[in-house]
């Protein structure tokens, strides 16, 4: 077995680690301890079904050894260990699907050290953090039930060696040969046992296996004793009052491979019918791949502090998939299968409680810690919107007060409750405008009338927003109404007036519709328009035009997307309407009338943010019009 090359990306990552002047270098220790603890968990878990796996070596734990002269730190565990193939797979490559995206992101995000480190964390490349302090790393491991040991070594220079070696017992020993500049430091001296003890207490206190180290004993420091550095009490089993914010944070980072700080922490206990403890974290940053189909949601499951499962998705509704955390309940047996889990009543009860606790926390945040909530919303709002949209709106009642929307009343997003609380007298509905972005909806021709009335308009500028109205059609008895829907009227008189006028102009309306040749289902007079000559709206409360467009984009022509019903509304008070009336009186079949109808339709599509059906025809008509107008001057 000779020298091997790291995969290209791994090399890039190593360079990043080595050159990083990150101030929190000490986290390498937490990462290696956490890996060792995982390895011990795996061993313990597998031995449930393979009783002879552990053999006589049942005293599970970690050991840290410091060699001041040799300038090394060695972290040993008697966990599951690795075979040679596993070493190559797990350590020689970043065996994660995200490697490529990682570097793409790195390139986009030239925002400094912390961003880099945060990204590294998202991609779970904890082992490589060893190279933040080491010039060479030696790993010697022996897999459970295997005869041969494996020795892996790398100086972080693009290659590593891997070969068979003798190893007496199961597990892994990782030796860090410290870089000279690190070893020579007087402060934060990593070769000082007290410094290591402090780090273990700070970052790894709750590790459930003993982390032992020789510590100086007495005053002269000559004698030493083997000491367990961590308290080993799982954090979640402690009383809330006894746990500091820093400890919660450290636990979050270590247990969930997270690098952001949680925006909220929920530590709760259920007694009575089902006994359990839950420790839940609401992250402040979207985890990597959260929006991809590969993302796996779920909570860790423990039974009496023994690890059962990494991602129990039955414990979290899909729309709360961003929540990280764990549940420990003595009511679960250790060799619980997935199939059993799905039907487990206890689990369902716990899941319900977990959901409620998280929703309560979010509700509290939206009402009392608005800045935090808005940050949360930026990151995860879409997940909650998805919850409103999914399941035909069954979750709407739980979620409706957690939604935030940008609005025409300033820069701050509002809740539906706030909207309703400041509705104008005489206003009976909740208005929203859908479009691609803020500018687009602000310029919708219908906005003018609402602005004039002083009515607030919610901006539905996220594609999913309007789809939510399928389940969320009203709030506190107030209907949600699109300002781009044909049935919108702001007051009765205007509506009646419009009906009367439609009667008078019946002939023209029918002619325009005929000229548009099946493009619109209906032509009407608008009760709403102010300065715009016409607008396009969707008919009959069905699919809207913006929804149609979104569906078109997502289906990418693979299937014909369902069509919205198009209605052209003309402004009877606009000068062009008088022109149309005159042209129609002269000759309903005049080509000019036909062109004008087409132009009004096309420009209405454009102001609604929609593409025109035939851009070339549109351009030709516009040019003809310009020539005509030019001739007249
Ligand atoms: P992660 O812990 O997120 O998987 P790491 O880079 O920290 O990523 O570790 C990579 C992999 O190397 C682990 O998933 C594990 O399979 C293996 N590994 C690391 N340390 C040990 C260890 N002490 N014992 C057994 N396997 C280990
Ligand atoms: Mg790790």
What DSSP letter does each residue of 453-470 carry, written as one string?
HT--EEEE-SHHHHHHTT
Q: What is the distance in A from the centroid of ligand 1 to the CA of 140?
A: 13
- Cβ–Cβ < 8 Å for 315, 347: yes
Average pLDDT over residues 513-526: 93
State the residue for tokens 């414990």: 315
Q: Which listed ligand is nearest to 152 at the C-alpha?
A: 1
**Please, are residues 16 and 116 in contact by the beta-carbon 8 Å criterion?**
yes
482's tokens: 């699109």
Confidence of residue 492 (pLDDT cuts 50, 70, 90): confident
Compute the C-alpha angle 305/311/313, nearest 5°: 115
Atom of ligand 1 nearest to the CA of 174: 23
- Does residue 464 surpass a pLDDT of 70? yes
Nearest C-alpha neighbor of 28 from the set 129, 177, 176: 129
Give the ligand whose atoms come closest to the C-alpha of residue 144: 1
- Return the pLDDT at 579: 94
Structure token digits, residue 70: 């040799």
Q: Which fold has domain 493-633?
A: 1.20.120
List alpha helices for 67-205, DSSP H.
84-91, 99-108, 113-122, 180-183, 193-204
Domain boundaries 404-483, CATH class: alpha beta
Nearest to 254 by CA among 226, 230, 220, 289: 230
What's the pLDDT band for 107 if we cut at 50, 70, 90?
low
What integer pLDDT is reported at residue 466 of this predicted model?
92
Determine contact, residues 213/194, Cβ cutoff 8 Å.
no
What residues are neighbours of ligand 2 (ion), with CB under 5 Å? 35, 126
Indicate whether 102 pLDDT > 80: no
Token code pair at residue 530: 């102010």
User: The tokens 């009186």 sit on which residue?
Assistant: 585
35, 91, 160, best to mutate for ligand 1 pocket (most atoms within 8 Å of CB): 35
| CATH code 1.20.120.790 region(s) in the chain | 493-633
290 three-class SS: coil
pLDDT digits (tens, 9 = 90+) for 592-628: 999 999 999 999 999 998 889 899 999 999 999 899 8
pLDDT above 70 as % of the chain: 89
User: Distance between CA 480 and CA 483 in Å, rounded?
Assistant: 10
Ligand of minimum distance to the alpha carbon of 173: 1
Ligand 2 centre distance from Cα of residue 90 (Å): 10
For the segment 35-68, what is each residue's pLDDT rounded down to a tens digit? 999 999 999 888 988 989 999 999 999 999 999 9
Virtual torsion, Cα 197, 201, 203, 206, nearest 10 deg: 130
pLDDT for the residue 55: 92
Distance between CA atoms of residues 370 and 368, nearest Å = 6
- Is residue 263 within 8 Å of 281, Cβ to Cβ? no
How high is the pLDDT of residue 254? 82
Report the C-alpha gap between 567 and 524 in whole angstroms.
7
The pLDDT assigned to 10 comes to 66
Question: Quick one: tokens of 17?
Answer: 């680690």
Give the per-residue pLDDT at 96. 42
Q: Which residue ranges have their beta carbon within 6 Å of ligand 1?
A: 31, 35-36, 39, 77, 79-82, 90-91, 124-127, 172, 257
pLDDT at 418 over 90: yes
What is the model's pLDDT at position 111? 45
Closest-CA residue, ligand 1 atom 10, reads 90
Nearest ligand for residue 130 CA: 1
Element (H, E) at 418: helix 416-421
What's phi and psi for 359, nearest 5 deg? -65, -40
pLDDT grade for 110, boundaries at 50, 70 and 90? very low
Q: Which ligand is nearest to the CA of 75?
A: 1
Average pLDDT over residues 182-210: 89
Place of tokens 């004008």: 596
Atom of ligand 1 nearest to the CA of 42: 25
Q: Which CATH architecture has domain 236-374?
A: 2-Layer Sandwich (3.30)
Q: Is the pLDDT of residue 400 over 90?
A: yes
**What is the pLDDT, as a whole number, of residue 204?**
87
Q: What is the mean pLDDT of residues 351-369?
A: 97
Q: Tokens 């998202």 appear where?
A: 122
Tokens for 349?
């009860």
Least confident of 91-100, 304-313, 325-334, 461-470: 91-100
Q: Where in the chain is the domain with CATH 3.40.50.11260?
A: 404-483
Residue 481 binned pLDDT confidence (cut-offs 50, 70, 90)? very high
Instruction: Give the Å distance between the CA of 59 and the centre of ligand 1.
Output: 21
More confident residue, 185 or 2: 185
Whether the pLDDT of residue 394 is over 60: the answer is yes
Out of 76, 90, 98, mutate this one to test ligand 1's pocket (max ligand atoms within 8 Å of CB): namely: 90
Q: Residue 1: which of 140, 167, 161 has the closest Cα?
A: 161
Give the C-alpha separation, 457 to 447, whole Å.
8
Distance between Cα 88 and ligand 1 center (Å): 11
C-beta separation of 128 from 15 below 8 A: no
**Confidence at 16, pLDDT banded by 50, 70, 90:** low
Report pLDDT digits (tens) over 274-317: 899 999 999 999 987 888 888 999 999 988 887 778 899 999 99
- At 495, give phi and psi (nearest 5°): -65, -40
pLDDT > 80? residue 227: yes
Q: Of all protein residues, whose CA lies closest to atom 27 belonging to ligand 1?
A: 35
Is 570's pLDDT higher than 80?
Answer: yes
Ligand 1 centroid distance, CA of 80 (Å): 11
Q: Specify whether domain 2-232 bears CATH 2.60.40.3620.
A: no
Nearest Cα residue to atom 7 of ligand 1? 126
Q: What are phi and psi of 566, to 5 degrees?
A: -95, 135
Residue 458 has a pLDDT of 98
Nearest residue CA, atom 13 of ligand 1? 90
Mutation choice for ligand 1 from 38, 45, 122, 204, CB with most ligand atoms inside 8 A: 38
Q: Is the pLDDT of residue 571 over 60?
A: yes
Pocket test for ligand 1, best of 97, 127, 172, 204 (most atoms within 8 A of CB): 127
Q: Which ligand is nearest to the CA of 127?
A: 1
Q: Rounded to 5 degrees, what angle do the CA atoms 234, 237, 242 make?
A: 95
Q: What is the mean pLDDT of the chain?
A: 88
Residue 633, CA atoms < 13 Å, CB-side half-sphere: 5
Atom of ligand 1 nearest to the CA of 80: 25
Interval between CA 63 and ligand 2 midpoint (Å) = 17
Q: Higher pLDDT residue, 631 or 567? A: 567
85 CA to middle of ligand 1, Å? 13
From residue 31, alpha-carbon distances to 6, 19, 120, 128, 251 in Å are 21, 18, 12, 9, 12
State residue 11 phi and psi, 5-degree precision.
Answer: -60, -45
> What three-state secondary structure class fits 123?
coil
Q: Boundaries of CATH 3.30.230.80 in the chain?
A: 236-374
Antiparallel, parallel or unpaired: β 264-270 and 223-228? unpaired
Range with lowest mean pLDDT among 7-21, 211-225, 354-368: 7-21
Q: How many CA atoms lie within 13 A of 383 on its CB side?
A: 22
Provide the pLDDT for residue 226. Answer: 95
* d(C-alpha 432, C-alpha 437), whole Å: 13
Report the separation in Å between the CA atom of 587 and the middle of ligand 1, taken as the mean of its atom positions.
Answer: 82
How far, in Å, from the CA of 613 to the mean position of ligand 1?
A: 56
Cβ contacts of residue 623 below 8 Å, gap of 6+? Answer: none
**What gap in Å lies between CA 31 and CA 125, rounded to an integer?**
9
State pLDDT tens for residues 233-268.
889 999 999 999 989 998 998 888 787 899 999 999
**Which range is least confidently modeled, 2-6, 105-109, 305-309, 332-336?**
105-109
CA 35 to ligand 1: nearest atom: 20
Nearest CA to ligand 1 atom 3: 124
pLDDT band at 97 (very low <50, low <70, confident <90, very high): very low
**Alpha-carbon distance 205 to 235, whole Å?**
9
In the reported structure, the alpha carbon of residue 31 is separated from the centroid of ligand 2 by a whole-number distance in angstroms of 5
Angle at 499 between CA 494 and CA 504, to 5 degrees: 120
State mean pLDDT over 429-437: 95
């Amino acid at each position: 077995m000779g020298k091997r090359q790291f995969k290209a990306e791994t090399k890039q990552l190593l360079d990043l680690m080595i050159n990083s002047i990150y101030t929190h270098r000490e986290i390498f220790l937490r990462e290696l301890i956490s890996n060792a603890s995982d390895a011990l968990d795996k061993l313990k878990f597998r031995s449930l079904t393979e009783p002879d796996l552990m053999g006589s070596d049942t005293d599970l734990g970690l050991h840290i050894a410091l060699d001041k002269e040799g300038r090394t730190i060695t972290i040993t565990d008697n966990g599951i260990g690795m075979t040679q193939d596993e070493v190559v797979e797990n350590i020689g490559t970043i065996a994660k699907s995200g490697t490529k995206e990682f570097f793409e992101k790195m390139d986009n995000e030239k925002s400094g050290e912390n961003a880099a480190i945060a990204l590294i964390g998202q991609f779970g490349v904890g082992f490589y953090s060893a190279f933040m302090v080491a010039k060479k790393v030696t790993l010697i491991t022996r897999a459970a039930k295997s005869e041969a040991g494996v020795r892996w070594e790398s100086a972080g220079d693009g290659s590593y060696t891997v070969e068979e070696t003798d190893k007496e017992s199961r597990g892994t020993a990782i030796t860090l040969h410290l870089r000279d500049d690190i070893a020579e430091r007087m402060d934060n001296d990593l070769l000082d046992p007290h410094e290591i003890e402090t780090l273990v207490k700070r970052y790894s206190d709750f590790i459930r296996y003993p982390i032992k180290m020789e510590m100086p004993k007495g005053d002269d420091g000559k004698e030493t004793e083997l000491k367990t550095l961590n308290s080993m009490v799982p954090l979640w089993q402690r009383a809330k009052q006894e746990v500091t914010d820093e400890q919660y944070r450290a636990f979050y980072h270590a247990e969930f491979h997270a690098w952001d700080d949680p925006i909220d922490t929920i530590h709760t206990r259920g007694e009575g019918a089902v006994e359990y403890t839950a420790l839940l974290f609401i992250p402040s940053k979207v985890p990597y791949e959260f929006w991809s189909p590969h993302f796996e949601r779920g909570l860790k499951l423990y039974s009496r502090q023994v690890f059962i499962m990494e991602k129990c998705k039955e414990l979290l509704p899909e729309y709360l998939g961003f929540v990280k955390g764990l549940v420990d309940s003595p009511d679960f047996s250790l060799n619980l299968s997935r199939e059993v889990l799905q039907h487990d009543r206890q689990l369902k009860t716990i899941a319900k409680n977990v959901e409620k606790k998280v929703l309560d926390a979010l509700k509290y945040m939206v009402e009392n810690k608005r800045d935090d909530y808005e940050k949360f919303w930026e990151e995860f709002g879409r997940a909650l919107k998805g919850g409103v949209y999914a399941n035909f709106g069954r979750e709407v009642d739980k979620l409706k007060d957690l939604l935030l929307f940008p609005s025409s009343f300033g820069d701050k997003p509002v809740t539906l409750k706030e909207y309703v609380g400041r509705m104008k007298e005489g206003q009976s509905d909740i208005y929203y405008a859908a479009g691609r972005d803020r500018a687009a909806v602000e310029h919708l021709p219908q906005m003018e009338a609402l602005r004039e009335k002083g009515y607030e308009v919610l901006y539905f500028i996220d594609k999913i927003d309007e789809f939510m109205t399928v389940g969320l059609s009203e709030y506190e008895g107030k209907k949600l109404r699109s300002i781009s829907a044909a049935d919108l009227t702001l007051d009765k008189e205007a509506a009646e007036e419009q009906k009367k006028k439609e009667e008078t102009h019946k002939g023209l309306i029918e002619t325009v519709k005929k000229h548009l040749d099946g493009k619109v289902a209906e032509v009407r007079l608008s009760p709403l328009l102010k300065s715009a000559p016409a607008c396009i709206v969707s008919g009959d409360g069905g699919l809207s035009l913006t929804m149609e467009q979104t569906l078109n984009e997502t289906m990418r022509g693979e299937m014909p997307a369902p069509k919205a019903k198009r209605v052209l509304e003309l402004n009877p008070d606009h000068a062009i309407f008088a022109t149309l009336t005159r042209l129609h009186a002269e000759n309903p079949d005049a080509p000019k009338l036909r062109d004008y109808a087409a132009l009004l339709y096309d420009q209405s599509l454009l102001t609604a943010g929609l593409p025109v059906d035939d851009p070339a025809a549109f351009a030709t008509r516009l040019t003809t019009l310009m020539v005509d107008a030019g001739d007249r001057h």
